[in-house]
Structure 1
Amino acid sequence: MPTAYIKKTAEKTGKSVKQVESLWNEAKASAAEQGKVDNYAYITGIFKKMIKGLDKKSLLSEISESVKEIISKLNT
């Protein structure tokens, strides 16, 4: 069952709980590789960077789609 933090982050970012939970698990695995398996501040830091990266990718994708639509309209 996802934690309240996972649910809140999913709502805030507009991502599914499953997506956000997957990122949290990736952050935990990354922290474990660094020997910081129980350092939740460290895990949260990694997680927040991953969320920001996801948001930037989403924004770029939306911009790209908008540009494609505009070009398509101009070509018709």
Structure 2
Amino acid sequence: MASHEFLTPLAVNLSSAEFIRDYGRRTPPADQQKGIGTTENGARRMRQMLDRGLLLGTAAAHKLKLHHARSICPACAKAW
């Protein structure tokens, strides 16, 4: 499955990497750092989406173990 949720961050990462490669020497260091930061943030988002997808796949395969624990949700406690 190649949805826009994956393709958009990949496209941004690729364009940032190409920008740094093609114009890095002619670009001010601040702009280079911005491009690197964009690439890093995109990679983190991709990793997070893949981790969530793997978790959902594990849950769908009924391999996710459920551990019951008592907790109080602040919003729920306020509503009571």
User: TM (normalized to structure 1)?
Assistant: 0.52
| Superposed structure 1 runs of 4+ greater than 2 Å apart | none
Aligned length: 47
Aligned to 2:28: 39
- Runs of 5+ unmatched residues, structure 1: 1-22
Aligned to 2:58: 69
User: TM (normalized to structure 2)?
Assistant: 0.50
How many angstroms apart in 1 are the aligned matches of 2:30 and 2:38? 12
Q: 2:37 aligns with which of 48, 56, 73?
A: 48
Specify the structure having the higher radius of gyration (Cα).
Answer: 2
Aligned to 2:21: 29
Identity, in percent, stands at 6
- Runs of 5+ unmatched residues, structure 2: 1-13, 64-80
Aligned to 1:12: none
> Which of the pair has the greater relative contact order for Cα pairs under 8 Å at 6+ separation?
2
As a proportion of its length, which structure holds more helix? 1
Q: Partner of 2:47: helix, strand, or coil? A: helix
CA RMSD of aligned residues (A): 2.6
Aligned to 1:14: none
